Structure 1
Amino acid sequence: MTTVDLAPEVHGVDLTGRTALVTGAASGIGRACALALAAAGARVRAVDLDEAGAAEVAAAVGGEGRAVDLAAADDLGALARDADIIVNNAGFQVVRPVEEFPPEVFRRMLAVMVEAPFRLVRAALPGMYLRGWGRVVNISSVHGLRASAFKAGYVSAKHALEGFSKVVAVEGGPRGVTSNCVNPGYVRTALVERQIAEQAAAHAIAREQVVEQVLLARSATKRLIEPAEVAALVVYLCSPQASFINGASLAIDGAWTAQ
């Protein structure tokens, strides 16, 4: 199984003077997005439940770190009112059959992955409209386009995020705001690493076998996606060249959804 090593810069994109809010920014895709947006010149506000992780990313990019529980904060709007770019990335995964899925976990997943993006974007849109420019990038998933067993909360939340993203695209398009979903397959993140470990234990097979025989069984490209690859697409969606990409769901999945 091969890997790629990508720098965070996306050449030719200049976001100088823009303020970008990234949720789930302490690690994985969120961290890669924060680094790439900062490399393009944006001022980055890194938001995460992990206070130390958010602070570390903020220090690395010369930005601002905020420790926030997106499921519990009353005034998320204060985080986003001055944002030109919002990357809704925060999320988590729980794998259970529907009949065993804890309702309180289902509720929290919707709060983090649907209600929080709504509140953040709702607060940011007036400023975006006033400036005639805004970018909303929602980190969805292949599970925003397809279902898998045992992922009722995650699949439901990502499908809802897809619908919300399209509404923002329709309303915001005439006023200079685009809204799109990025739909990765399996990315090399802590979330996926935990799934690999759980699957290996459950099936009594090696981790490499889980990756190749379970996670990548439907993928034509037989490797995990690197967070920097997802971040590169996110930054491109913020560029002038991408101004007509609006209301889209862009799969970055090695043809996982093509089969």
Structure 2
Amino acid sequence: MTTNTKPHQGAHQGQTAFITGSTSGIGLGVARAFASQGANVVINGLGDANEIEQARLSIEQDFGVRAIYSAANMLDPEAIKHSIQVTEDEFGMIDILVNNAGIQHVAPIEKFPINQWDAIIAINLSSNFHTIRAALPKMKQKGKGRIINISSAHSLVASPYKSAYVAAKHGVAGLTKTVALEVAEQGITVNAIAPGYVWTPLVERQIPDTMKARNMTEEEVKRDVLLLAQPTKEFVTIEQVADLALYLASDSAASITGTTISMDGGWTAK
């Protein structure tokens, strides 16, 4: 039983948003953004059970919507299919699907662990296929839907030692285009957001170790290591990614489909 005290009227009132990899960071920011506009949300991902429950409760209490947690492992196609079915049984349909789950590993290709390659391809690319495959029939039936894949600047350019991640994100760009063409006449749009480095707790936690390893100040690590590729020398914020997701899910973006939108401080302009 929830204690909703703040019913909210917003652009997505009564809709349902399913966001993978949303127990923290970008995904949680996106979930909260849709909840702020009246959407019920399904959060998904790994982490401390108490922290996840607190995040879920906070969404309900802050925005007066329903928030449920799906523990579906994005490595498991059957678990993904089941989580989509449970959501549709609970809410009727998924109006907005946001594929955000992702992991990373950095190594030269000849030393890249095979299990890490398989996991990165599965979570960063294949899970998008499985969620879309499961959610699309109901969207087609209703004649509406928004699919937003949170990709990366690495869907457009490469960096050394990130073979699996770059391959997966390039794959997301192709998947986005293909599905968009398949559903172009059915009221469904499919797009990807390609951020550069986003300021998240995960990135923030990397800074002290990098300062020690490279004998740099915090500002030097941010500017000369993390933001080396971004001409603006500014991090993308979680709020900026979430705001773009809100726009792509809006009626105003009905003619935007099959595209990957860069949000990278000029990285891919070089």
Whether TM exceeds 0.5 here: the answer is: yes
Q: Among all aligned residue pairs of Structure 1 and Structure 2, give the percentage whose two residues are the same amino acid.
A: 39
Give, in whole Å, the separation in 1 of the partners of 2:99 and 2:253: 18
Give, in whole Å, the separation in 2 of the partners of 1:172 and 1:85: 15
Q: Give SS of 2:231's match.
A: coil
Give 1:100 deviation, angstroms: 1.5
Is the 2:193–2:260 Cα contact (8 Å) retained in structure 1?
yes
Match of 2:91 in 1: none
Q: Cα 1:53–1:87, aligned 2, differ >3 Å: closer, same or farther? A: farther
Match of 1:24 in 2: 21
Q: 2:224 aligns with which of 197, 200, 213?
A: 213
Give 1:66 deviation, angstroms: 1.7
Task: Provide structure 2 residue ranges, at least 5 long, that are not aligned to the other structure.
Answer: 1-8, 61-66, 89-93
Report the more deviating stretch, 93-102 or 24-33.
Answer: 93-102
Report the more deviating stretch, 24-33 or 75-84.
Answer: 75-84
Give, in whole Å, the separation in 1 of the partners of 2:147 and 2:82: 17
Q: Give SS of 2:79's match.
A: coil
Match of 2:143 in 1: 132
Q: Give SS of 2:234's match.
A: coil
Give 1:18 deviation, angstroms: 1.2
Match of 2:80 in 1: 76
Q: Cα 1:195–1:157, aligned 2, differ >3 Å: closer, same or farther? A: farther
Q: 1:95 aligns with which of 106, 111, 114?
A: 106
Is the 1:200–1:207 Cα contact (8 Å) retained in structure 2?
yes
Match of 1:229 in 2: 240
Is the 2:149–2:191 Cα contact (8 Å) retained in structure 1?
yes
Q: Give SS of 2:13's match.
A: coil
Give, in whole Å, the separation in 2 of the partners of 1:171 and 1:244: 15
Match of 1:256 in 2: 267
Q: Give SS of 1:74's match.
A: helix
- The residue correspondences of 1:185-224 to structure 2 (distance < 5 A) are 185-197=196-208, 199-224=210-235
**Are 1:61 and 2:72 an aligned pair?**
no
Is the 1:20–1:84 Cα contact (8 Å) retained in structure 2?
yes
Q: Cα 1:195–1:98, aligned 2, differ >3 Å: closer, same or farther? A: farther
Letter in 2 for 1:72: D
Task: Provide structure 1 residue ranges, at least 5 long, that are not aligned to the other structure.
Answer: 1-11
Q: Cα 1:245–1:20, aligned 2, differ >3 Å: closer, same or farther? A: same
Report the more deviating stretch, 46-55 or 118-127.
Answer: 46-55
Is the 1:96–1:150 Cα contact (8 Å) retained in structure 2?
yes
Give, in whole Å, the separation in 2 of the partners of 1:75 and 1:222: 40
Give, in whole Å, the separation in 1 of the partners of 2:138 and 2:217: 51
Is the 2:45–2:101 Cα contact (8 Å) retained in structure 1?
yes
Give, in whole Å, the separation in 2 of the partners of 1:110 and 1:126: 24
**Larger C-alpha radius of gyration, 1 or 2?**
2
Q: 2:256 aligns with which of 242, 245, 256?
A: 245
User: How many residues matched?
Assistant: 248
Give, in whole Å, the separation in 2 of the partners of 1:172 and 1:60: 35
Is the 1:26–1:56 Cα contact (8 Å) retained in structure 2?
no
